[in-house]
Amino acid sequence: MTHPTAAYVALGAALALAVVDWVAVLCKRKRLEYIAKPTTMVAVIVSAVLLMRGPHDVWQAPFFLAGFAFSLAGDVLLMLPYKSTFVYGLAAFLVAQICYIVGLTPSLPPLPARIVVAAAIAVGAILYQQIARGLHRSGTPSLLGPVVAYSLVLSLMLSAAWATLFRPEWTALRRALVTSGASLFFASDTMLAWDRFVRPSHALRIAVIVTYHVAQMCLAASIATPGA
């Protein structure tokens, strides 16, 4: 089996495990979720490693791989039933987002892309206002600092992904994968914060995990589509 084929088999396994996790969340099967959620990211990491053995973006790939590893750590920490591990999980995902930003930004983006950056930060600020109110209402204002820091970095990751639209050396497929992945990641984390701090909803929890897994798989697949 060639490396690309093996990598896409691993991505297929990640998708299958993700579906198991989605069902576990839907049916509130915590034990199954504790197994399926981290193993999904393990499969994503395996696919990324295999894709790196073929043609790939030598700058982007290692940073994305590190981002996947920190995401796995964040998944485990956020699943643990202890309030103290939430901040550590948030920190792990913050580092993951920084890895994605660095992987997507080998050089200063062109001027039009900087406008995208400003727009993404503005959107993040608007959403953060609602989440901040929820933090106060839920009696957890101490999380305000960590959440605002993560919101800023998440917005920067989204803008870094959309800024690739202004990079002529990137193929249309790479742009589509990266922008889709980043947008879904942004949506997932926004819904997660909304569910935790603004208005809890079981339907939101399902949407959170579906968008999160599809986002990570899109980002992983983008490693194997080098620019022209």
Q: pLDDT tens digits for 196-224? A: 777 888 889 999 999 999 999 999 999 98
C-alpha–C-alpha distance, residues 90 and 152, integer Å: 13
Calculate what percentage of the chain has a pLDDT beyond 70.
82
Mean pLDDT, residues 183-206: 87
At 138 the pLDDT is 65
pTM: 0.88
C-alpha–C-alpha distance, residues 36 and 31, integer Å: 9
At 215 the pLDDT is 98
At 113 the pLDDT is 58
- The better pLDDT of the pair 3, 20 is held by 20
User: Residue 227 pLDDT > 50, yes or no?
Assistant: no
User: Residue 55 pLDDT > 50, yes or no?
Assistant: yes
At 139 the pLDDT is 64
- The better pLDDT of the pair 74, 122 is held by 74
What's the Rg (C-alpha) of the chain?
17
What tens digit of pLDDT does each residue of 125-158 get? 666 766 666 666 666 667 777 887 888 889 889 9
- The better pLDDT of the pair 190, 113 is held by 190
CB atoms inside a 10 Å sphere around CB 20: 18
User: Residue 111 pLDDT > 70, yes or no?
Assistant: no
- The better pLDDT of the pair 147, 40 is held by 40
Mean pLDDT, residues 37-48: 97
SS (H, E, C) 108-130: CCCHHHHHHHHHHHHHHHHHHHH
At 142 the pLDDT is 72
What tens digit of pLDDT does each residue of 9-18 get? 999 999 999 9
